[in-house]
Amino acid sequence: MQLSLVLITRNFTLSLFGLFHRFFRVNGDEGIERWVKFFNSIETYFRQLDGRDFLLLK
């Protein structure tokens, strides 16, 4: 569930990059690459969480 929300948010944001690329450009293309790396790191984090087993203590 969380991973799908991250993927939806990432795809939506990347679509906005295409429509409003000047808005997102901080330092030319480097600004866009920074956002893509950020979303990729979040996606990787949630993929790793999906593979782990959690112990719930009561």
How do residues 20-30 score in pLDDT, each as one tens digit?
A: 656 656 555 66
Q: How far is CA 43 from CA 7, 11, 23, 35, 51, in A?
A: 7, 11, 24, 12, 13
Calculate what percentage of the chain has a pLDDT beyond 70: 50
User: Per-domain residue ranges for the chain?
Assistant: 2-49
* Identity of the amino acid at 25: R
Question: Is 0.75 topped by the overall pTM?
Answer: no
> What is the Cα–Cα distance from 13 to 40, expressed in whole angstroms?
12
